[in-house]
């Protein structure tokens, strides 16, 4: 049985890139070189073993902002033997409570802002709470992170793990389509995630990379941390989802790379500060997590240049399963690939299957299944979910799509977001792309609403750009002219904002629920 000592690997990095900056926590103004970060994470693991008694089989949970979570991210968790459970700091208290009851952590690392709301609930369950800033007063069952680190050795913790079987990290799936599940990761999953970034013809990371994370590193944004680290690059964390602050940080920290979900990129196009700050150091903006409007992407390219990379993946497959590179973007409009998610990654098996799990012919639409070394083995304490969403090492993504004859993947929709109206299949993402192409539209979401004759009717909620106006009738005609009459919305409601998740993804489920609340059965 092979074992790996992750601390020994990062020790070599700390020698090679010793005095280069590895981590910047912008709000708390902490800066760590590669050597500093290696020694600090050694100390954290030694503290968890010696002072918190966190051993193999134990779990600790992190309910932290990006800057504090960065101290307990993969470069720490993979050195230890207890498993880290990361949750999104901006999840609701009900969601956090469910996660705590499900994971049953021995220790919770908690932001001080949540102490008053969470401490009693955690203490009653016998959970030690570790706060990250000086506590307002002493409490039994409460410890201060930096006090715990005092006089702790920075030696190699000496912990060896089986890279294939020892679960060291838990993450919760997003809630855009229903109740979250708990994904479990081994060291091999994370090393595969790192390696996949180095296999493409376009190298996004080098020693001069400075990567700004505004999205939660507890989720997709955190996939980039090891790739930057092992190239000798730097990770910069931002806590608040504030685009004005993001622009300021890009200028101040000379950021070369960041990631924005499409919703935020749309807002950036209308943001005056995007012109007020110097964003010229940006070499790469990755987008993903939701489909991008081709019309909006064209605007973004004209505004910022050819710096965009599209990636597609999921919580269950800890790597980019497909990528539309910068080179692809140069020819994508003419070749018709701008609406695709890119080509399948070199180290990924991706197949399109029908309802029976049989692979379909190229060009046919079906469910996307993904298998790679980064694909998890299943969900924690959820055999039913594991059995239904995994097959022979493949993760069943729940997304519908097809591959063209050049190997580009087109995401058609979530299975649950396919609208069946009058016997026709209408994919919400296609209608949204047509709506978002209208110059007056900032963003939109499309759902099926109850209809006595057709079962469902196509309905849209639309956010207009500031100062713009358009009628619902004009928008419907615009969609008809682009994608056809039967796919166009039958009704449109203009709204001030759309419900979004804490990472900025539009929660189509929340919109749908409003219209099906009084029905005994919902379509999809």
Query: pLDDT for 164-197, tens place per residue?
Result: 999 999 999 864 434 679 999 999 999 999 999 9
Identify which has the larger pLDDT, 29 or 425: 29
Question: Measured between alpha carbons, how far is 505 from 512 in angstroms, rounded to an integer?
Answer: 15
Domain-wise residue ranges, the chain: 422-516
318 and 376 Cβ atoms separated by less than 8 Å: yes
User: 422-516, what's its fold?
Assistant: GMP Synthetase; Chain A, domain 3 (3.30.300)
Once rounded to an integer, what is the mean pLDDT over residues 395-419?
Answer: 86
Mean pLDDT, range 232-245, rounded to an integer? 96
Residue 454, class by beta-carbon neighbours within 10 Å (0-12 exposed, 13-18 middle, 19+ buried)?
Answer: middle
d(CA 353, CA 329): 28
Cβ atoms 48, 108 nearer than 8 A:
no
Q: Residue 145: its pLDDT value, please?
A: 98
User: In this predicted structure, what is the pLDDT of residue 179?
Assistant: 62
Cβ contact 463:495 at 8 Å: yes
Nearest to 319 by CA among 185, 139, 170: 185
Mean pLDDT of 226-231: 98
Report percent pLDDT > 70 for the chain. 95
Q: Is the dihedral of CA 65, 67, 72, 78 positive or negative?
A: positive
Question: In the predicted model, is pLDDT for residue 487 greater than 50?
Answer: yes
Rounded Cα gap, residues 462 and 451, in angstroms: 20
pLDDT surpasses 60 at 481? yes
What is the Cα–Cα distance from 288 to 308, expressed in whole angstroms?
A: 11
Two tokens at 68?
Answer: 């504090």
**CA neighbor of 381 nearest in space, from 167, 226, 122:** 167
pLDDT at 176 (0 to 100): 40
Q: Residue 491: helix, strand or coil by DSSP?
A: strand
Residue 521's pLDDT band (cuts 50, 70, 90): very low
SS3 255: coil
Residue 284: the pLDDT is: 97
pLDDT digits (tens, 9 = 90+) for 299-338: 888 889 999 999 998 899 999 999 999 999 888 767 778 7
Q: What letter does residue 396 receive in the DSSP assignment?
A: E
pLDDT grade for 265, boundaries at 50, 70 and 90:
confident
């Amino acid at each position: 049985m092979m074992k790996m000592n992750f601390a020994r690997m990062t020790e070599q990095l700390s020698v090679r890139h010793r005095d280069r900056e590895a981590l910047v926590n912008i709000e708390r103004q902490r800066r760590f070189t590669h050597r500093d970060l290696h020694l600090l994470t050694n100390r954290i693991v030694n503290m968890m073993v010696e002072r918190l008694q966190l051993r193999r089989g134990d779990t600790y949970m992190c309910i932290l902002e990006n800057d504090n979570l960065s101290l307990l991210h993969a470069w720490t968790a993979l050195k230890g033997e207890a498993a880290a459970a990361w949750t999104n700091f901006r999840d609701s208290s009900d969601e956090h409570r469910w996660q705590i009851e499900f994971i049953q952590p021995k220790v919770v690392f908690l932001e001080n802002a949540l102490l008053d709301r969470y401490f009693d609930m955690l203490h009653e369950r016998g959970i030690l709470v570790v706060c990250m800033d000086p506590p307002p007063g002493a409490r039994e069952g409460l410890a201060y992170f930096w006090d715990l680190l005092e006089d702790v050795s920075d030696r190699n913790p000496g912990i060896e793990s089986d890279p294939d079987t020892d679960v060291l990290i838990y993450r919760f799936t997003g809630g855009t389509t229903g109740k979250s599940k708990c994904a479990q990761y081994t060291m091999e999953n994370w090393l595969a995630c790192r390696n996949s970034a180095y296999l493409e013809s376009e190298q996004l990371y080098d020693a001069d990379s400075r990567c700004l994370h505004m999205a939660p590193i507890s989720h997709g944004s955190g996939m980039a941390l090891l790739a930057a680290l092992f190239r000798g690059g730097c990770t910069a964390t931002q806590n608040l989802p504030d685009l004005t602050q993001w622009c300021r940080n890009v200028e101040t920290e000379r950021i070369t790379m960041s990631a924005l979900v499409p919703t935020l990129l749309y807002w950036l196009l209308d943001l005056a500060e995007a012109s007020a700050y110097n964003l010229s150091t940006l070499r790469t903006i990755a987008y993903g997590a939701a489909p991008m409007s081709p019309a909006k992407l064209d605007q973004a390219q004209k505004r910022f240049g050819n710096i965009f990379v599209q990636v597609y993946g999921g919580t269950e497959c800890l790597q980019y399963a497909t990528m539309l590179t910068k080179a692809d973007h140069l020819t994508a409009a003419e070749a018709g690939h701008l609406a695709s998610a890119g080509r399948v990654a070199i180290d990924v098996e991706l197949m399109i299957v029908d309802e029976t799990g049989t692979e379909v012919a190229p060009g046919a639409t079906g469910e996307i299944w993904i298998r790679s070394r980064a694909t998890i083995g299943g969900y924690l304490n959820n055999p039913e979910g594991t059995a239904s969403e995994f097959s022979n090492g493949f993760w069943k993504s729940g997304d519908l799509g097809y591959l063209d004859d050049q190997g580009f993947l087109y995401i058609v929709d979530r299975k649950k977001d396919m609208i069946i109206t009058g016997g026709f299949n209408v994919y919400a993402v296609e209608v949204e792309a047509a709506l978002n192409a209208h110059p007056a539209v900032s963003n939109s979401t499309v759902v099926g609403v109850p209809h006595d004759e057709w079962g469902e009717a196509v309905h849209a909620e639309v956010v207009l750009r500031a100062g713009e106006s358009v009628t619902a009738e004009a928008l419907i005609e615009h969609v008809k002219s682009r994608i056809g009459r039967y796919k166009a919305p039958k009704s449109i409601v203009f709204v001030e904002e759309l419900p979004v998740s804490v990472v900025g993804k539009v929660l189509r489920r929340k919109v749908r629920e409003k219209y099906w609340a009084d029905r005994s059965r919902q379509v999809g």
